[in-house]
Amino acid sequence: MANDKDGILVDFSAIEKNVPVYTLKSKGIQAIPIDKIIGSLGRYLDFSETLLPKRSDGSSRYEYIKSLMEKGINLEPIQVYQMLDNYFIIDGHHRVAVAKNEFKAKYIDADVTEIKFDFELSKDKNYTFDSESTKKFLIKLEENAFQKATMLNNKILIHPLKVTELKSYAILNQEILDFKENYNNGELIKRSIMFVSYKWYAERFLPAVELMKEEKILSKFANRTYTDLYVWIQKHKYFLSQQAGHDVGFDFTAHDFMAKYKDKKFLDIIPSIFTDIIKNLVK
């Protein structure tokens, strides 16, 4: 059985609170990859992320299902919700647990209901979540919405736009919209969002990454990404612009950020108004 140190499944109800409007579409019975099952309806605390029962009263059910499978008895397909390419178990937790952990199965038959939804990107959005695993899935929903809005596909980017904090994709999306509005006195206004997004990526994000690589600054932030640092630089830009009384520009900000951080702790170079925000990012 799993121990308390194991992670937990994503709680579907926590996701539902953040995606209040959605529709359901039946996709019928199909074989789904077990490693794409990440969550549960109502029983997320009873199983670890590896789908082992956490409660002792689940062991007898587990052993019973195991004995049936060992005898070659065909069991009913499990029932799941699908969001993006991940699945949440509605019914059949023990069937999945035994198939995965005892028989090393890669796929399992499931009656799939797909969830269709629109996901709002907003830096002012208030999220509700109860675990790190739920937070990670919400970031995945943000990433999907960001890629739809900007047409930037992480699968083909030299440096994928990956973040570890909620609302970061909303900040990036707004920056791209501002970039479109302000570039050369509105030169990009009539251009497609795809053209604008890739121009922003080439002229803003990639040069910033190259600077970060030269300074080897990412090594100072465990488990963070270049995109995380880019978002923090934008926060630093806001502070400098407020001080100067005008937009100081990204290039100046990036160099100022790097120069100051090379020899000092990051929390020492920002105003107190941002301390709580950054502590949450780097803790």
**Sign of the CA dihedral running 62, 68, 71, 77:** negative
pLDDT at 169: 97
Q: Is the pLDDT of residue 168 over 50?
A: yes
Return the pLDDT at 271: 43
> Does the CA dihedral 219-223-228-232 come out positive or negative?
negative
* DSSP secondary structure letter of residue 248: -
For helices 59-70 and 93-101, angle between their N-to-C axes, nearest 10 degrees = 60
Cβ proximity of 13 and 41 under 8 Å: yes
CB atoms closer than 10 angstroms to residue 35: 11
Query: Which of 60-69, 135-144, 162-171 is least confident?
Result: 60-69
* CA count, 13 A, side-chain hemisphere, 114: 11
Q: Rounded to the nearest 5 degrees, what angle is found at the Cα of 179, between the Cα atoms of 175 and 183?
A: 165
| Helix 193-200 and helix 168-182, axial crossing angle in degrees, nearest 10 | 100
Asked whether the beta carbons of 88 and 115 are under 8 A apart, the reply is no
Q: How do residues 21-71 score in pLDDT, each as one tens digit?
A: 999 999 999 999 999 999 999 888 888 888 888 766 557 888 999 999 999
Average pLDDT over residues 232-260: 78
- Give the sign of the dihedral formed by CA 12, CA 33, CA 135, CA 148: negative
Model pTM?
A: 0.82
Q: What is the DSSP letter of 167?
A: T
**pLDDT band, residue 1 (cuts 50/70/90):** very low
Round the average pLDDT of the chain to a whole number and report it.
85
**Token output for 135:** 């937070």
Count of beta carbons in the 10 Å neighbourhood of residue 234: 20
- Residue 82, pLDDT above cutoff 70: yes
C-alpha–C-alpha distance, residues 71 and 282, integer Å: 51
DSSP letters spanning 32-99: EEGGGEEEESS-TTTBBTT--B-SGGGHHHHHHHHHHHHTTPPPPPEEEEEETTEEEEEE-HHHHHHH
- Domain residue ranges of the chain, discontinuous segments joined by +: 10-117, 132-282
The token pair that represents 24 in the structure block: 């359901």
Task: Answer whether 114's CB lies under 8 Å from 24's CB.
Answer: yes
Pick the CATH number of 10-117 from 3.90.1530.10, 3.40.1260.20, 3.30.160.620, 1.10.3720.10: 3.90.1530.10
So what's the pLDDT on residue 107? 98
Q: What is the pLDDT of residue 242?
A: 84
Spatial contact of 81 and 111, defined as CB atoms under 8 Å apart: no
